[in-house]
């Protein structure tokens, strides 16, 4: 018994063997625990709204430190009506639905298969960590503002990046005690609540980094979808290395804070009120009154 206790406690967070998400590798938050991965993915493959933001990334097919390459991005899918009858325990179903959110860190197409064989994973010198900030302040911002993280001050953003680079250098895995919250971030966020995932490297092909679901709501509840589509998610990506890299002690990992939100409405879905606010930014003055009405409706 003792042995298995220690074994389990040594597994990184996220590898708890949640019944629906047995392989770990994904931060499972909120009511997403009610679903299994397969059902979840089938629903999130047909989202109502999506988002995409480029991030700094590296050519991971070459050993660390390699070179920076374009094409790495965060993406997000939001699906509004996941019936509770599809939850793992359908006997609890009452006809309600959940709104689900999945966040991905994806490599450019030509790098997605880099870690598809075990030998490459066993030999890699890379360590990639993703930290999702679940409790960032939410404000009325345009799509453009949300992707530049305007909800956090630029000082807070750079202090957070610096703090994480200093806290997780060298071979340090990303599950240790987080750095304290920089004072420039005020008390709106708390690093102790951030969700950390040291990425299983084969996740860069498109596996979820983070999933969450709303509270149960009536089916077709536009408000739940609108809230999920409007939410801005700050995400820290850390490009570090492991023991095999033989890196010098003064090398620093590359840390970037980026933001995404799922404001792009998929063909066939209606614009939730929040998504129309994005178009309001560029709309003619005549429409602005209508846009404000949409906000008030929220
Ligand atoms: C996310 O949504 C897009 C747009 O509909 C879809 O093409 C993609 O396959 C979805 N991603 C996943 C992992 O299901
Ligand atoms: C389903 O109902 C059972 C019995 O009431 C309860 O123990 C369980 O937590 C519920 N499961 C979910 C996923 O809500
Ligand atoms: C967003 O705008 C609405 C309407 O203008 C306002 O009522 C609400 O308080 C604002 N929310 C935030 C977080 O600023
Ligand atoms: C790291 O050092 C070991 C022992 O000196 C060597 O075998 C290995 O090839 C080095 N790895 C890299 C990536 O340079
Ligand atoms: C969300 O998408 C589903 C199927 O893709 C569609 O049936 C539903 O009407 C959409 N919801 C909204 C509010 O557009």
Tell me the three-class secondary structure of the chain, residue by residue: CHHHHHHHHHCCCCCCCECCECCCCCEEEEHHHHCCHHHHHHHHCCCCEEEEEECCEECCCCCCCCCEECCCEEEEEEEEEEEHHHCCCHHHCCCCEEEEEEEEEECCHHHCCCCCCHHHHHHCCEEEEEEECCCCCCCCCCHHHHHCCCCCCHHHHHHHHHHHHHHCCCCCCCCCCCCCCCHHHCCCCCHHHCEEEECCHHHHHCCEEEEEECCCECCCCHHHHHHHHHCCEEEEEEEEECHHHCCCCCCCCEEEEEEECCCEECCCCCCCHHHHHHHHHHCCHHHHHHHHHHHHHC
CA distance 252 to 249: 8
Question: Atom 14 (ligand 2): residue with closest C-alpha?
Answer: 92
pTM for the whole thing? 0.84
Q: Give the pLDDT band (50/70/90) at residue 23.
A: confident
Q: Give residue 18 CA to ligand 1 midpoint distance, Å.
A: 24
Ligand nearest to the CA of 20: 2
Ligand nearest to the CA of 293: 3
CA distance 133 to 189: 8
Check whether 278 has a pLDDT greater than 80.
no
Q: Give residue 36 CA to ligand 1 midpoint distance, Å.
A: 18
End-to-end CA, the chain: 53
Check whether 274 has a pLDDT greater than 60.
no
CA distance 213 to 259: 19
Q: b vs e for 206-219, b when ≥16 Cβ sit within 10 Å of the residue's Cβ?
A: ebbbbbbbbebbee
Q: Give the pLDDT band (50/70/90) at residue 69.
A: very high
Q: What are phi and psi of 219, to 5 degrees?
A: -55, 150
User: Pick the residue with more confidence: 242 or 271?
Assistant: 242
Check whether 40 has a pLDDT greater than 60.
yes
User: Pick the residue with more confidence: 65 or 1?
Assistant: 65
Q: Give the pLDDT band (50/70/90) at residue 276.
A: very low
Contact indicator for 141, 204 with CB cutoff of 8 Å: no
Q: Give the position, in ligand 3's atom list, of the atom nearest the Cα of 137.
A: 13
Q: Is 22 exposed, middle or buried (0-12, 13-18, 19+ CB in 10 A)?
A: exposed
* Domain edges within the chain: 2-270
Q: What's the pLDDT tens digit per position in 43-65?
A: 999 999 999 999 999 999 999 99
Q: Give residue 245 CA to ligand 4 midpoint distance, Å.
A: 7
Any ligand 2 atom below 6 A from CB of 92: yes
User: Pick the residue with more confidence: 285 or 155?
Assistant: 155
| Confidence at residue 18, expressed as pLDDT on a 0 to 100 scale | 81
Check whether 1 has a pLDDT greater than 50.
no
Any ligand 4 atom below 6 A from CB of 9: no
Contact indicator for 82, 20 with CB cutoff of 8 Å: no
Q: What's the pLDDT tens digit per position in 139-151?
A: 777 766 677 898 8
Q: What percent of the chain has pLDDT over 90?
A: 69
Contact indicator for 105, 141 with CB cutoff of 8 Å: no
User: Pick the residue with more confidence: 170 or 242?
Assistant: 242
């Amino acid at each position: 018994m003792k042995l298995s206790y220690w074994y389990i406690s040594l597994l990184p967070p996220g590898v708890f063997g949640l019944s629906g998400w047995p392989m770990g590798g994904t931060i499972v938050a909120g009511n997403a625990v009610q679903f299994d991965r397969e059902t979840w993915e089938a629903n999130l493959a047909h989202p109502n709204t999506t988002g995409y933001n480029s991030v700094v990334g590296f050519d991971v097919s070459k050993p660390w430190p390699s070179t920076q390459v374009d094409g790495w991005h965060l993406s997000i899918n939001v699906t509004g009506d996941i019936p509770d009858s599809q939850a793992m325990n359908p006997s609890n179903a009452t006809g309600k639905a959940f709104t689900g959110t999945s966040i991905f860190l994806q490599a450019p197409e030509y790098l997605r298969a880099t870690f598809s064989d075990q030998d490459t994973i066993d030999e890699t010198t890379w360590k990639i960590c993703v930290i999702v900030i679940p409790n960032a302040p939410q404000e009325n911002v345009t799509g453009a503002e949300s992707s530049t993280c305007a909800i956090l001050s630029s000082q807070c953003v750079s202090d957070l990046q610096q703090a994480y680079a200093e806290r997780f250098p060298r071979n340090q895995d990303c599950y240790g005690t987080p750095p304290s919250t920089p004072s420039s971030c005020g008390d709106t966020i708390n690093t102790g609540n951030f969700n950390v995932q040291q990425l299983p490297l084969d996740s860069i092909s498109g596996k979820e980094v983070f999933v969450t679901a709303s509270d149960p709501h009536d089916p077709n509840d536009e408000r739940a979808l609108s809230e999920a589509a409007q939410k801005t998610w700050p995400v820290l990506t850390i490009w570090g290395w492991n023991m095999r890299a033989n890196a010098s002690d003064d090398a620093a990992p590359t840390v970037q804070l980026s933001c995404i939100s799922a404001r792009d409405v998929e063909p066939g879905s209606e614009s939730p009120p929040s998504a129309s606010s994005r178009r309001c930014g560029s709309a003619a003055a005549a429409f602005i009154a209508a846009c404000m009405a949409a906000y008030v409706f929220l």
